[in-house]
Structure 1
């Protein structure tokens, strides 16, 4: 059976003119997308790690000294709009530019956005212009690179779920390194340096993708280019590919049922991301003001070693992935590999500099942004385990995976609520152990692996081909609603803490996702039937 699926994948790649070389049993094109997305997420999460902390920091420390409420409202508006514009970007790519041109243009606009934010010291207008450019660029980039991943595989390929999990590992490798280095440099050296560093790697990611586009054959081309080549990609191609692969073309009822499942899963994701995105808002405030971050003696030395390992270990993994890719495509796409290699030289130098600086520091204060890297670190270490589990051990339907993710997320907030139970009502500061944030991020990450890569895969598999970009846009639009709600609900942290306790604040985010997960489990048999064979 596995041999048949490999033959089906090869046939699909050849038909679309895609390079058939593989890395880790997946097309090399997946790993070009892996590194492009990695550097884009480096830039986004590197900036996100700093945003709230920069806004609430004192003027003397280079911040704007905003209130927590105002900072988290801006955070909610920014992250919400970042996930809303992909709805427009997906439509533009479907109808006008094609996915590949949209990715390149979006990356360029985001690079300019980071450059503008790096000039925030010259005036607040640069900061706001940068945010606007980031929002617009992300709208073109985000849905369309995910769409190309889906196009690399036949609809019923068993490799598609694991491909999105690998892709998601790239997302989190970039997020991890961005939060680690941009967060550290922003807090310890200067906010504008952190914002500027994020843009440098966005630029590298754009160049890496631009010079490797031929690897994708006709995938991701604009409708005009497709017509000029005489390649049918809409209804005709969908029916032809289905017939060629031995699959009946879907009827209108089947398409409608699958779209309903897409809507249900997308709405369920709102409950997940509304709670999960507290990471950049209220959980950052908790790390800044309520967590014991000054370390001394053995605790300080232990942290330095842990931080060094956390810095080096992911770099080793992604460097190994780059080496594996370079061996397969360097001869045909040398410029793409050289730009990626250059970016890795820079990132290794920064990582070693950070480790050296921390080991010789007179005192050890853990950066508040440091805790956000735990999510990405757990993703990197657990992604392969989850991928193999879905392939070989336990592979429930998409709705059940979503439900498990929601429940695990609730457990993470329950842990945080328990850890903060002794903080007095209305307290503005406290000294809670770091272990509670570590455990919370572990459970949140486990839940994320049940929702996000699986969601991306199901959006690709369930949607009609001619609307795949738009469907991804809808998926990200639900994330936009969730991020907006995350910012607005996070801004209530002081009010809820004053009226009840900060423990109560976090327990609210434990209960809501868990209830949504239980409802999804009850509905899962019906939703599974409505997917009509897509698993």
Structure 2
């Protein structure tokens, strides 16, 4: 079933908004935990933290976020071949809820096994995320037929839902952990995951119909009338090449962007003047700047891409724009480091951070939702969840690199790290511009608008999904 066969809301299938709601609360859960993880690890034990060093905490953060983006390959394969996407989402969501509530267990309840319980909670989150993450995104793409020019806009709306969850997470978890301790923040994350599960269980059959129920590989064999998997065609191989090449640039982008949860998080806590009059802004609140900017600008970009029509930039050019914005964001962080003048006792203005998150957000909107949309355009249906998981593998590598780079701030200094990332992102953007024409050729028209399909969408009468 695609968009043509179900009723619409605001020009999109209602199933899109169901998936937005499911992902919103799952991302609330993820970002609530992320906003306080490093702060919890480095806080003194007398305050309920684990008392780790900054380097150890950032190393663990890099390993954890890397695994979070690595396991979707296995989760995508299981969904495509055995479980189906809908069942994978439910199982993954349940495992993540268990993980969050494990982290939230009171110290008095789990002593002297607090550290072991912490690792067990992270393990549940990693495995559950592997089943959940690639499949929810893949189902968004299946709502639209080939050549439907609403797809990039749909993923931008979907991405806005993700970041509404992130915005709420930083504020709610940050406030709860400040007033009631770190465990309260983890408890908020667990409640968010339960809400995600309830939304999916109650509304999926009504608004998604049969989408995601059958494993994609089995559905592809049934459609071809063969019991064997079909070999890849030349067009499919070329399109997969595009995914691989673009993944290389994704690594560079996210390695810089993910400093937000690690190095920039600590920078806001230790080296930023957060006073507004007599009120000190909690460091975790800065994690909400990015989703707030996304909520503001995502609808504008979704409209812009659609209205540009044939003038809309190709995906490689949008990725190049993302690299440029990432570089500008770290130029702001260079400004913050220069304001300190090498004296770490001097605190930089918080407006440098605001500027950095603003430009990083524009870059994210030009890369992340466009990348998700690109996978659903280029990957064969029988491999779509696997390829979505492979796409997230680039994030896995990037997150590990981000933690590794951030952990050396004590050796190299913030100025060298922020400046190095800015230069690297700028060079990557130029390379993307140079090779964009070849990448578009390899897509074999996957980004072209099918007028015939568009006309069909206008004449088709909407029918409520089964």
SS in structure 1 at match of 2:128: helix
Aligned to 2:54: 68
Aligned to 2:64: 78
What TM-score do you get using the length of structure 2 for normalisation?
0.90
Matches of 1:205 and 1:10, distance apart in 2: 23
1:16-415 correspondence to structure 2 within 5 Å = 20-119=6-105, 121=107, 122=110, 123-214=114-205, 215-223=207-215, 232-234=219-221, 236=223, 252-296=233-277, 363-393=278-308, 394-415=311-332
Check conservation: 2:170, 2:284, Cα contact below 8 A: yes
**Once the 2 structures are TM-superposed, how far is the Cα of residue 65 of structure 1 from its aligned partner?**
2.0
CA deviations over 1:294-343 (Å, ceiling 9, x no partner) = 332xxxxxxxxxxxxxxxxxxxxxxxxxxxxxxxxxxxxxxxxxxxxxxx
Matches of 2:223 and 2:424, distance apart in 1: 44
Judge which range, 55-64 or 273-282, deviates more.
55-64
Matches of 2:3 and 2:402, distance apart in 1: 43
Check conservation: 1:120, 1:126, Cα contact below 8 A: no
CA deviations over 1:366-420 (Å, ceiling 9, x no partner) = 1111111100000000001111111113511110100100111011001110222
Residue-pair matches, total? 436
**Once the 2 structures are TM-superposed, how far is the Cα of residue 238 of structure 1 from its aligned partner?**
11
Equivalent of residue 424 in structure 2, options 494, 508, 512: 512
In the alignment, structure 1 residue 442 sits paired with structure 2 residue 428? no
SS in structure 2 at match of 1:422: helix
Check conservation: 2:2, 2:142, Cα contact below 8 A: no
SS in structure 1 at match of 2:145: coil
Aligned to 1:467: 383
SS in structure 2 at match of 1:46: helix
Check conservation: 2:26, 2:196, Cα contact below 8 A: yes
Structure 2 regions of 5+ residues with no counterpart?
448-466
Matches of 1:182 and 1:512, distance apart in 2: 33
Check conservation: 1:95, 1:223, Cα contact below 8 A: yes
Check conservation: 2:58, 2:406, Cα contact below 8 A: yes
Check conservation: 2:3, 2:143, Cα contact below 8 A: no
**Once the 2 structures are TM-superposed, how far is the Cα of residue 223 of structure 1 from its aligned partner?**
3.4
CA deviations over 1:215-253 (Å, ceiling 9, x no partner) = 2122101339x97xxxx43483699xxxxxxxxx99821
Check conservation: 2:3, 2:144, Cα contact below 8 A: no
Check conservation: 2:405, 2:417, Cα contact below 8 A: no
Aligned to 2:458: none
Matches of 1:422 and 1:223, distance apart in 2: 55
Check conservation: 1:271, 1:513, Cα contact below 8 A: yes
Aligned to 2:405: 489
**Once the 2 structures are TM-superposed, how far is the Cα of residue 257 of structure 1 from its aligned partner?**
0.8
SS in structure 2 at match of 1:66: coil
Matches of 2:138 and 2:241, distance apart in 1: 20
Matches of 1:485 and 1:505, distance apart in 2: 12
**Once the 2 structures are TM-superposed, how far is the Cα of residue 507 of structure 1 from its aligned partner?**
0.8
Matches of 2:36 and 2:118, distance apart in 1: 13
What TM-score do you get using the length of structure 1 for normalisation?
0.79
Check conservation: 2:3, 2:145, Cα contact below 8 A: no
**Once the 2 structures are TM-superposed, how far is the Cα of residue 528 of structure 1 from its aligned partner?**
0.7
Matches of 1:120 and 1:421, distance apart in 2: 42
Structure 1 regions of 5+ residues with no counterpart?
1-7, 14-19, 240-248, 297-362
Aligned to 2:348: 432
Aligned to 1:320: none
Equivalent of residue 456 in structure 1, options 372, 378, 384: 372
**Once the 2 structures are TM-superposed, how far is the Cα of residue 514 of structure 1 from its aligned partner?**
1.2
Matches of 1:84 and 1:278, distance apart in 2: 18
Q: What is the root-mean-square deviation of aligned Cα atoms in Å?
A: 2.0
Matches of 2:3 and 2:132, distance apart in 1: 27
SS in structure 2 at match of 1:222: coil
**Once the 2 structures are TM-superposed, how far is the Cα of residue 176 of structure 1 from its aligned partner?**
0.8
SS in structure 2 at match of 1:286: helix
SS in structure 2 at match of 1:233: helix
**Once the 2 structures are TM-superposed, how far is the Cα of residue 430 of structure 1 from its aligned partner?**
2.9
